[in-house]
Chain A
Amino acid sequence: MKKVLYVEDNRANRILIGRLLDSQYDLVFAEDGETGLRLAEEIQPDLILMDIGLPDFDGQTVGAMIRQIPELKDVRIVALTAWPEAAVSELVSRYNFNGSISKPIDVSTFPALVESYLNDAAPN
């Protein structure tokens, strides 16, 4: 099973994403950025879903630090955020993320989107 790390401080969101993805992937949660950084290095996930608004460090900071780890320099990182599209595009580009998914997520399309990122076939 592919490993997906979801970094998210909001418990309700973790429950929702768990329900959507838990049966298909080895899903691991981190509630804050520092834990996300540690778990990323420990488990070497196939995909990291990164909430941008985290309580200790911003998601973009955590993502950037993950990219500095040699084994994770190419790991797929996808931002989850409600930011306006232009700001998200800038974030994805500047912080070398692989893409973004808007919050609130669309539960009907979210699992397919995640699969497309894992297959490197996500839409631009």
Chain B
Amino acid sequence: MGREILNTQSAINYSIEELTEAYNQTRQDYIVPMPMTPARLQAYVDAYDVDLKSSCVVLDEEDSDLIIGLGMLGRRHNRSWITRVGVLPYTRKLGAGGEIITHLIETSKRSNIQFTWLEVIYGNDPAQRLFMRNHFKQTRELMVLRRPPMTTITDRKLLAMPAIVEECDKEDAISEFAESSEIPNWLNQAETLRNLDDLLVKRIVFQSGWEGRLFYELTTLQIKRVIVQVINGPAEQVTAASLAWLHQEHLMPDAVCENFEVNDPRIKGYLRAGYFESFRRVEMVRRNH
């Protein structure tokens, strides 16, 4: 195209519907496009502390009604999170992606935010190179796990474990989770859990003395964000047994869990309970000061 296109504006100036439409258009040719509805994007903004004022859109210089790219910024205390970055397919390689990343980094620096995080789909080398040019370093590989409805658990020992299951006080459970040694990805941090109105929390105590805590969201079609906090016992076994209980209670929904570190000992527990790896992401971080 050969013309300047870098007119950057705050995303707060646009409605959720406009941002959703722009976002979906920028991702249409992605291998994993992940389109959204406006309601889903709003829920995303709320859950992950996305600050639309700090987030940005890039407009076409010749048509200021056309959003050619956007990026969003989550903010929590001394850290920020770059997410939902996309540029229209036919306007790539003209600097809009770099402009968005620069804008979000500079916004973080002006707010004295020390660390900026993000994830990129594993194998998206152009995106990863863009972030590395902006001094992001890889921290972990993260796994997205799925479990289809009616999946049979073949390990009979998991199904035969008697357990006492009780509701937990959500805020107490999240506070304890926040104080644990676990270092979850942005999606699964305590701040996210506090933002979820429909989060369910259960304590499971097995006869063996093993104990786990389950955090999850439940809808008619899906169980989402299933996090097992291991309180007592071996990580793999407590995880597998807790998930076996959960999925015997809720046979129908499809389950999806995102962004667990690939070396997390609980992963084997998820796999024993019928989950499988769907795809991976690479987590990256940048020190701003």
A residues with CB within 8 A of B: 9-10, 12, 32, 53-58, 60-62, 64-65, 67-68, 82-84, 87, 90-91, 94-96
Given A55-B35, A90-B276, is A61 in contact with B254 using a C-beta cutoff of 8 Å? yes
Alpha-carbon distance A112/B285, docked complex (angstroms): 47
Cβ-defined contact, B279 with A87, below 8 A: yes
Which residue of the partner chain, among B31, B37, B148, contacts A84 with CB atoms under 8 Å?
B31
Which residue of the partner chain, among B29, B31, B254, contacts A64 with CB atoms under 8 Å?
B254
Cβ-defined contact, B34 with A53, below 8 A: yes
B31: which A residues are within 8 A, CB to CB? 82-84
B160: which A residues are within 8 A, CB to CB? none
B221: which A residues are within 8 A, CB to CB? 57, 61-62, 65
| Shortest distance between the CB of A59 and any CB in chain B (Å) | 11
Which residue of the partner chain, among B29, B32, B222, contacts A61 with CB atoms under 8 Å?
B222
| Shortest distance between the CB of A30 and any CB in chain B (Å) | 14
Alpha-carbon distance A56/B146, docked complex (angstroms): 17
Residues 232-281 of B at the A interface (beta carbon under 8 Å)? 252, 254, 256, 276-279
| Shortest distance between the CB of B43 and any CB in chain A (Å) | 11
| Shortest distance between the CB of B58 and any CB in chain A (Å) | 22
Residues 74-132 of B at the A interface (beta carbon under 8 Å)? 123
Alpha-carbon distance A61/B148, docked complex (angstroms): 8
Which residue of the partner chain, among B33, B149, B256, B277, contacts A53 with CB atoms under 8 Å?
B33
Alpha-carbon distance A49/B144, docked complex (angstroms): 24
Alpha-carbon distance A53/B63, docked complex (angstroms): 29
Alpha-carbon distance A57/B24, docked complex (angstroms): 14
| Shortest distance between the CB of A71 and any CB in chain B (Å) | 17
Query: What 5 new A-B contacts, CB under 8 Å, besides A56-B40, A68-B252, A84-B31?
Result: A10-B28, A55-B36, A64-B148, A64-B254, A65-B221
